[in-house]
Structures are given as C-alpha cells and as structure tokens.
Amino acid sequence: MRNYYKIVLAAVSLLLVAGCASHENFAKHYDTWIGKNIHYFTASYGYPDTSYKLPNGHEVYVYEKTRIDSYPQVVPTFGYGWGGYYGGMMATYGTDIDYKTCKLFLEVNKKGNIVQWGSRGNNCVM
C-alpha cells in the first residue's frame, strides 16, 4: 500500500511540473543571460542555427527549435457504397498536425556580451 502512495505522489508531481511550462519561465531564464558572454551560452546550448550582423556592429545569434506532432483522427461520415446507400457510419481517416516552433534571438555586442534577447513562435516555453 505504501508503494501505491509513492507512485500516486510521483505521478501528481510530474503533472504539476509539466503544467509549469510557460513563456514567463522562458523569459526569466533568458533574462539571466543578459550581460554574460556568448561563449558561455554556446558552451551550454551549442552553436546557433544562424547568425547575422546588424548595422550597429552587433551580431544576432538565432536558435530555432521546431516540433511537428501528428495525431490520427477518425471522422464519422455517412456515405454511399456499391449498390446504394448503406446504413450506419463509415470512418475516414485523416491526421491532425500540431506544428510548434520557437526562434530565440540573442543580440551580442562587439565585446561578445549578450545585450538583449527576443523570441518568436508558439512554443517558447520552459
């Protein structure tokens, strides 16, 4: 019985932690990187997917993550078959696709320090 309570407690804890992912946590995390050198960031997160120079001499590092989930769906329909209408429902199959993306932009000054960051996408959560 004791093990049952431990399993239930672990499951509830996992659900609570999973429910805490938010853009607010994402923002708090990347705010801590402002003022730090980009070399420490790349040591932790790897090289960026792309980068470009700004007219003011700063460089922008872009990190992108994309996730595509597909879920099968069954759509009930009424239809006609060989020999006329057949009663009941027939199932047609389709797919729901969930496209999640997040782009992280880190602006780095000439000294190599992160001066600001921004993000774009529907999955910029942590």
How does DSSP assign 58-84, residue by residue? -EEEEEEEEEEEEEEEEEEE--EETTE
Q: In sequence order, what are the residues at sequence separation of 6 or more whose Cβ sits closer than 8 angstroms to the Cβ of residue 124?
A: 23, 26, 102, 104
User: What is the pTM (predicted TM-score) of this model?
Assistant: 0.68
| pLDDT for position 51 | 97
Q: What is the pLDDT of residues 3-15, one digit of tens each?
A: 655 554 555 554 4
| pLDDT for position 7 | 57
| pLDDT for position 15 | 46
Average pLDDT per consecutive 10 residues, the chain (126 residues; last block may be shorter): 55 52 93 97 96 97 92 62 52 72 97 98 93
Considering all CA atoms of the chain, what is the largest pairwise distance in Å, rounded to the nearest integer? 78
Query: Is 77 in contact with 97 (CB distance < 8 Å)?
Result: no
Distances (CA, A) of 10 to 1, 19, 32, 119: 15, 14, 30, 33
